[in-house]
Structure 1
Amino acid sequence: MRKASIITRARKAFRALIRSASGYDAASGSGRWPHSYALSAPISQQLAASRVAARKIGHQSQNNALIASIIQHAVTAIVGDGPSVRSVHPDPEIAAQLHAAWNKFFADCSVEGGMSLGGYLSRKARAFFVDGESFTKLIVDPDAMRLKLQLLSADQVDSAKTLPSFGMTGDTPNIVAGVEFDDAGRRAAYWVLPTPPDSPWASVAPPVRVLTQDICHVFEPQWPGVPRGISPLTAVAGLARELDDALDASIVKLKTTAVLTAFIRDPEGYMLKDHPLLPMLEPGAIMRLPEGADVQFSPTSDMASLSEVLTHIERMICSGAGVPAFFATGDYGSVNYSAGKLALASFQRRIKAIQQNHLVAQLLIPIWDRIVLLEVLSGRMRAPDYESNPERYAASFLFPGWPAIDELKAAKANTLAVAAKLRSRADIIAEQGRDIADVDAEIAADPYADDDLSSDATNIANQPDTETQNA
């Protein structure tokens, strides 16, 4: 027993020596950092926490006003009314045929029916913020040879399906949280439950293997090799929960303060007797109390700094979520023009990153490729160079642009940029989510397009700003 205690103490002393030898406080050298305050195994810890976090954030998305506002503004900014497509094929006839096929798909894209691609992408973007990921199954109607999309819940991809290969090759797959990898580390398949586990009368059938070519997985991999996603609101979910508690406590405090109570003290007990002149507290009454009696009221709570504390917490939550605080809270009176423009620019970069890195790369490009393939295989489109020149059948996606804060200043800046050859018309038009070919076609069809409006435009551009005149 004594020998065991000596060995235990020696081990503890050795570990303490190793920690102190690091010389870094973040490495627990000083003992200030708890051992639980570390991601020692990020992938495993994320897989264990992702579904629990999704359920909690899903609850907040329906019950926490700030989280609901953050998700609503982010989803609207990412999707808008849906992207337009621009085919890069040099043949105008083929490009027009591909656009027609895309427009037909855009109008009704879901297997459920009655949903445009814009509405479908809104559901995808919402799942991205709540679950941290979303899955789409590409389904082809064998009769019409048309593509339809089936939205899968994150729980429908069986996260309990884990089968390590232990480095073996051949028939032993490597499955982690419902995602199957081949020997080279590429995603080979997903193991999908027939129905969502939370649906009424859910199926108890085991998961089915679906090839990765038929599944689009939209998520943000935060660690190398992580197979699943986690909500970007995970870092602020706890603080949002504390904000709820603080608001509830503040409301109770206000209600308690509003209940004003008066306490009449009478040391001689005169007022406690059955006396006809017993005073009754009434609004606006002037009362004469017996000698030695006085009145005390319940103390009122000081809430002068409460607004600043709650506002600071809201700003921290919005900052962690990547949404400007004045967007989510609706408090536009607390931001000036310069600060609002800077916050909006940062928010736009974040939104553009999500659009291009996740929606376009992980979902829209596979959808477009499948639509083109179906047009070729069905014989609806003749494409002799489809296999030899597949790059001709690519496309770019244009999301709705951001409205200018000051349209006159933006028009002047764009005009100067084009005149100085710093930007092109195509770049400026694409920034608004439109195709330059469509704009040129509209201008060509405009009966007033031949009128010389250049002098009027020059006069307008040379006018000084009203803000400058007032200054």
Structure 2
Amino acid sequence: MKSPNIFKRTTCALRAFARSFSGYDITGGAGRWPHSYMLNAPVAQSLAAARLASRKIAHQAENNALVSSIVTNAATAIVGDGPTVRSAHPDPDVNAHLQRVWNEFYKSCDLEGTMSLAGYLNRVARGFVIDGESFTKFVVDPSIMSLRLQLLSADQVDSARTVPSLGTTGDSPNIVAGVEFDAIGRRVAYWVLPTQPDAPWASVLPPVRVSALDVCHVFEPRFPGMPRGISPLTAVAPLAMQLDEAVDASIVKLKTTALLSMLIRDPEGELSYDFDSTNNPQALHLEPGATLRLPPGADVTFPPVSEMNTLGEVLSHIERLICAGSGTGVPFFIATGDLASVNFSAGKLGMTAFLRRVKALQQNYIVAQLLTPIWDRIVLLEVLSGRMRAPDYETNPERYAAQFLFPGWPPIDELKSAKANTLNIAAKVKSRSEVISEGGRDPADVDAEIEADPFAADDLSADVTNISNQNEPENN
């Protein structure tokens, strides 16, 4: 007898609980929030949109001036002229050997033999921005035991190959968008097409399995379990397309406005014209310095021209939104080249934020996902080939690690930067090696250059007091 009452009370409680959230528009109860405006399955939805987004953004990178500038500036800031390496091995002879091997690899690292490591990393950075990911395949020449890099297209890793593991065979692999995982979720292989799908000579052969030890996948996993990357420009690509449309419409409007025209009216409708004279309305036209003789009683009006005073502000606002949401951190004044609207403090603040983003991209993705595996493979090949004696390679692997130093950013005010570095070293807040490393140089190389320089005498070095007392030009 009490069960209907319990069911009724439970139903009323659930309805009251649901009504308690109806006041928040985020739940959709207010009716203003579209039901499709949500990510129900971020991983699946990103996989479905990634390849289409990369094709559209690739088109914009070649045709949209702002997107092209963002891609170029982001890739240049991430790579620069290439990183230097510092080996962590305590033996200077081993360090010197590894440095020589790295220098030889740096000169010609790709399989085609057309560019240095800096140029190769620039292509990797462009792929990271446009496609959201970049794949590098290790190719080892067995005759000389040397490493070469092969850049794979994002479409070359078969995103259509998805084979879920049903758990019927125990350790059966799980393949998602061309990435193979083992039973505990580790990446074990990639399924790669023999040739790029967009190549003129593209084959129709099925993808082949390549071990994950021979492939470096540079991407940003935004969600847990995300196997592939998506371009950071995806959020602003629609707005960039609308910016192009707005610019095109503005240019057409400017051309239309430049066409000066006039209308001659006859209010009475009783005027007669001599079509053989100069007052023929069909023959009247405007010329610089011309004097027109209109028919008696005629009235002249000009079509109204809409104002475009606020057009520049609207377009600049859209450009700022695109730069802010691009995910690369490229400031507005760098992407557009509009330095007139930026003062010293705002420019320094924007460049500081951009520098932090660039360092995060360098260390989290370029170094961790690409440069470190490259270094490990180079060291391994030197050990296996017998060119380097390393009895503690397996017992002390940390000795064979490396640190990568990217080129530093030129200071806005060199004198202030020199003062700050000198005072920090004197106050023991920073070390000399740290200051040199921030500039992308190896302290050992700097010390060797100073020792080899005959003009680097002690009496020519400036002390803290001399640097601090130098006058500074005022910043206008």
TM-score, with structure 2 as normaliser? 0.92
Q: How many residues align?
A: 457
Q: CA deviation at 1:456?
A: 7.4
* Aligned residues of 1:82 and 1:117 also touching (Cα < 8 A): yes
Q: Say if 2:305 is the partner of 1:306.
A: no
Q: Shift in Å at residue 286 of structure 1?
A: 2.9
Deviation (angstroms), 1:171:
5.5
Q: Contact (CA 8 Å) 2:133, 2:230: kept in 1 or not? A: yes
Alignment of 1:282-297 (within 5 A): 282-283=286-287, 284-297=289-302
Secondary structure class of the residue paired with 2:235: helix
Shift of residue 16 of structure 1? 9.6
* Aligned match of 2:362: 355
Partner SS for 1:333: coil
Q: Determine if the alignment matches structure 1 residue 419 to structure 2 residue 423.
A: no
Post-superposition offset of 1:270: 3.0
Q: What is the Cα deviation at residue 15 of structure 1?
A: 11
What is the CA deviation profile of residues 199-233 of structure 1, one whole-angstrom value per residue up to 9, with x for unaligned ones?
A: 10201000101110000000000000000000000
* Alignment pair present for 1:270 and 2:275: no
> Residues 333 and 44 from structure 1, CA distance in 2 versus in 1: closer, same or farther, beyond 3 angstroms?
same
The residue number in structure 2 matching 1:390 is 397
CA distance 1:302–1:387, shift in 2 (3 Å): same
Q: Are the aligned partners of 2:172 and 2:183 in contact in 1 as well (CA < 8 Å)?
A: no
Q: Is the 8 A contact 1:21 1:29 kept in 2?
A: no
Q: State the one-letter code of the partner of 1:295.
A: V
Please state which structure has a larger fraction of its residues in helix.
Answer: 1
Q: Contact 2:43 / 2:226 at 8 angstroms: preserved in 1?
A: yes
**Residues 16 and 403 of structure 1: CA distance in aligned 2, closer, same or farther (over 3 Å):** farther
TM-score, normalised to structure 1, is 0.93
Q: 1:128 to 1:167 in 2, by over 3 A?
A: same
Q: Distance in 2 between matches of 1:416 and 1:346?
A: 24
Structure-1 residue corresponding to 2:341? 334
Q: 2 CA distance for matches of 1:317 and 1:127?
A: 19
In the TM superposition, what whole-angstrom CA distance separates every residue of 1:49-82 from its partner, at most 9, and x where no partner exists? 0000000000000000000000110000000111
Deviations 1:227-248, CA, capped at 9 Å, x for gaps: 0000000000010000000000
Q: Distance in 2 between matches of 1:310 and 1:51?
A: 29
8 Å contact kept, 1:156–1:196 = yes
CA shift in 2, pair 1:365/1:290, >3 Å? same
Partner of 1:6: none
Q: Distance in 1 between matches of 2:351 and 2:308?
A: 32
1:17 & 1:275 partners in 2: Cα distance? 88
Please report how far the alpha carbon of residue 274 of structure 1 lies from its aligned counterpart in structure 2 after TM superposition: 2.3
In the superposition, relative to structure 1, how do residues 403 and 294 fare at CA in structure 2: closer, same or farther (>3 Å)? Answer: same
Q: 1:139 to 1:310 in 2, by over 3 A?
A: same
Q: Distance in 2 between matches of 1:190 and 1:292?
A: 84
Aligned CA distance change for structure 1 residues 16 and 177 (closer, same or farther; 3 Å): farther
Write the letter of the residue equivalent to 2:366.
L
Query: Structure 1 82/19 Cα, relative in aligned 2: closer, same or farther at 3 Å?
Result: farther
Given that 1:253 and 1:301 are in contact with CA atoms closer than 8 Å, whether structure 2 keeps it comes out as no
Write the letter of the residue equivalent to 2:33.
W
Query: 5 Å matches for 1:41-60?
Result: 41-60=41-60
Displacement after TM superposition at 1:22 (Å): 2.6
- The Cα of 1:20 is off from its aligned counterpart by 4.1
Q: CA deviation at 1:446?
A: 1.1
Counterpart of 2:6? none
Asked if the contact 1:19–1:28 (Cα under 8 Å) also holds between the matched residues in 2, the reply is no
Matched residue type, 1:22: F
Are the counterparts in 1 of residues 279 and 294 from structure 2 also a CA contact under 8 Å?
A: no
Contact 1:82-1:400 at 8 Å conserved across structures: yes
Q: Distance in 2 between the 1:113 and 1:18 partners?
A: 67
- What is the aligned partner in structure 2 of residue 199 from structure 1? 199
1:268 CA displacement? 3.2
2:3 counterpart residue number? none
Any gaps of 5 or more consecutive residues in structure 2?
1-12
The one-letter code matched in structure 2 to 1:71 is: V
CA drift at 1:97: 0.3
Opposite residue 342 of structure 1, the aligned amino acid is L
The equivalences for 1:10-409 within 5 A come to 20-23=19-22, 24-170=24-170, 172-266=172-266, 267-270=268-271, 272-278=273-279, 280-283=284-287, 284-321=289-326, 322-409=329-416
What is the alpha-carbon root mean square deviation over aligned residues?
A: 2.0
The offset of 1:259, in angstroms, is 1.3
Seen in structure 2, the aligned counterparts of structure 1 residues 230 and 272 have a Cα distance that, compared at 3 Å, is farther
Shift, 1:292, TM fit: 2.4
Structure 2 CA distance for aligned equivalents of residues 353 and 406 of structure 1: 24
Change (3 A) 1:233 1:15: farther
Deviation at 1:163, TM superposition (A): 0.5
* Residues 189, 211 of structure 2: 8 Å contact kept: yes
Offset at 1:427? Answer: 0.6
Contact 1:19 1:27 in 2 (8 A): no
Q: 1:21 to 1:457 in 2, by over 3 A?
A: closer
Match of 2:5 in 1: none
- Residue 210 of structure 2 aligns to a residue in which SS? strand
How far off is 1:454 after superposition? Answer: 4.2
CA distance in 2, matches of 1:157, 1:442: 46
